[in-house]
Amino acid sequence: MNRLALARADDALILGHRLSEWCGHAPALEEDLALANIALDLIGQARSLYTLAGAATGHDEDHLAYLRDERAFTNLLLVERPNGDFAVTITRQFLYSAYIDPYWRSIAATQSPLAPIAAKAAKESAYHLRHAAEWLIRLGDGTAESHRRAQTALTQLWPYTDELFDPITPDDIAVPRETWDTTVNAVLAEATLTRPDPKWQHRGGRLGTHTEHLGHLLAEMQSLHRSNPGATW
Amino acid sequence: MYSQGLNQPTEASADSPEQARFQARIDAEDKIEPNDWMPDAYRRTLIRQISQHAHSEIVGMLPEGNWITRAPSLRRKAALLAKVQDEGGHGLYLYAAAETLGVTREELVDQLLSGKAKYSSIFNYPTLSWADIGAIGWLVDGAAIMNQIPLCRCSYGPYARAMIRVCKEESFHQRQGYEIMLTLSRGTEAQKAMAQDALNRWWWPCLMMFGPPDSASQHSDTSMQWKIKRFTNDGLRQKFIDATVPQGHFLGLTFPDPALRQDPETGHWQHGEIDWAEFKTVVAGGGFQATDRLEARRKAHDEGAWVREAALAYAAKRQARKTAA
């Protein structure tokens, strides 16, 4: 099993699933379309990555998405965090995209089996990053309430950001912390938001130790597939 | 997706030189554009019809959205999400088409949320299984297409042009829905049962999407004269039934209508009595999911208020900074 592809696939699927939960409920019609669009990109990335991950063992994308339990998922804790309000969703997307966008661009330039997938994903993540950054700036520098909500979201999610930088396998590439810092600090400054300085950081997603939220997400996502073993959809 | 079905009362047109010129252009199949003179009643009718159509797209995102998080494969999940996103896109450009008639999207949304405006009552039925996603695509979108193809030739230019794109996407959705039904009906016993159950529940409401029978419909005349509407409710309903029944038989499914039979002379499929009392109840707001649908829209609107305010405040700040610089 290609553990690297599997973990990146899990990140994309779980975040894509979270965004898809917004569909029909977003603050404005334009955002319904945008969030669905990003979700579609991420689910598309997950499909390619799962296919790559399971190629050696003969597992297809649906087997990997629907028939593993939560302890077998190796996604980042950050992406399984619940949607919360729009500020939480945007902040989560921003923190993730600020890492994964340079990551895809870097790995696309290597000989990694992920490179072809990364080349396509990089184009998508560039848009995701721009969309989230623009919104974070609007929310941070919008009204007193939106500023408060954005700052709260940032403070809540920050302890899940160190995990972004952990290489998944020895041959994985790592985006330098400074790259992410440069992007994040510039946006936070424009958004008039304060960079949090938490006393601790949470880890565990890569080892299958998740927050309690993931089990519920999977229970919903996998229910129909699992209740009809062997069926073709 | 969308259904018409709600015939709008329209005023009889008075005679005036403008009116005569207007009617002559319509008779000549000219398109009426936003800055052209038009009778108030024509404008009002179109605002109502286009905004109802837009509202239907938006509310229609909810029953199908109900299955996005449970779609049984990643391929189906992506396809459903893309489809629901398309519905949102239809809503967006239909609101834009309505805005060319001098209303704002905010006013129209307020009318939806206050319960003043109607939307297609088909969306007040619940989606109870995955097969409902197939049935909605096949039947609801199929019925919508029957209604909408003629709207591509509607006399009002912006609406007609919007409908060309809507119809292309809807016909893709319809094929996608049918393909879900085909997969289910060739699948396990449980999947076949799911498909049959979905057809049983959606068939009659879909026939109602075409609106009351022509004998009970008093308001079509002006819309016909203005070429907003080109076919009668019963005519479109018949077209839908004739196209759909053989498709259902190909799936190996049965229709929940013991009176359904093909007229050997005309070839048309004749249906049993439609429960118009149910139709009236649902149109009047008594639909099974009606409370939930409106509540979901209001909740999204209310909970999104601070976001929209933030976007406006930020835009104003930016503008002020630009002016100061």
In this predicted model, what pLDDT tens digit does every residue of A72-93 receive, in sequence order? Answer: 999 999 999 999 999 999 999 9
In this predicted model, what pLDDT tens digit does every residue of A218-228 receive, in sequence order? Answer: 999 999 999 99
* pLDDT at position B188 over 90: yes
Q: Is A69 left (phi over 0), alpha (psi -120 to 50) or beta?
A: beta
Mean pLDDT of A29-46: 98
pLDDT-based confidence at residue B247 (cuts at 50, 70, 90): very high
Cβ of B296 and A25 within 8 Å?
yes
Burial (CB < 10 A; 0-12, 13-18, 19+), residue A104, is buried
Q: Does A213 touch chain B (CB under 8 A)?
A: no
Q: Considering only the beta carbons, identify the residue of A33, A139, A142 that sits closest to B88.
A: A33
Q: Which residues, listed in sequence order, are joined to residue B270 by a DSSP beta bridge?
A: B261
* pLDDT at position B315 over 60: yes
Nearest CA in chain A to B70: A221
* pLDDT at position B9 over 60: no
- For residue B299, list chain A residues with Cβ-Cβ distance below 8 A: 25
pLDDT-based confidence at residue B7 (cuts at 50, 70, 90): very low
Residues 6+ apart with CB under 8 A from B73: A62, A66, A225, A233
- Let me know how long chain B is: 325
Contact indicator for B244, B209 with CB cutoff of 8 Å: no
Nearest CA in chain A to B58: A24
d(CA B155, CA B43): 12
In this predicted model, what pLDDT tens digit does every residue of B137-180 receive, in sequence order? Answer: 999 999 999 999 999 999 999 999 999 999 999 999 999 999 99
Mean pLDDT of B106-120: 95
Classify the complex by whether its ipTM is higher than 0.95, answering yes or no. yes
- The number of beta carbons lying within 10 Å of the beta carbon of residue A119 is 14
Global pTM? 0.95
Nearest CA in chain B to A223: B70
In this predicted model, what pLDDT tens digit does every residue of A95-132 receive, in sequence order? Answer: 999 999 999 999 999 999 999 999 999 999 999 999 99
Cβ of B306 and A231 within 8 Å?
no
In this predicted model, what pLDDT tens digit does every residue of A125-184 receive, in sequence order? Answer: 999 999 999 999 999 999 999 999 999 999 999 999 999 999 999 989 999 999 999 999
d(CA B194, CA A45): 31
Domains of chain A: 2-227 (1.20.1260.10)
* pLDDT at position B218 over 70: no
CA distances from B183 to A53, B15, B134, B313 (A): 27, 57, 10, 50
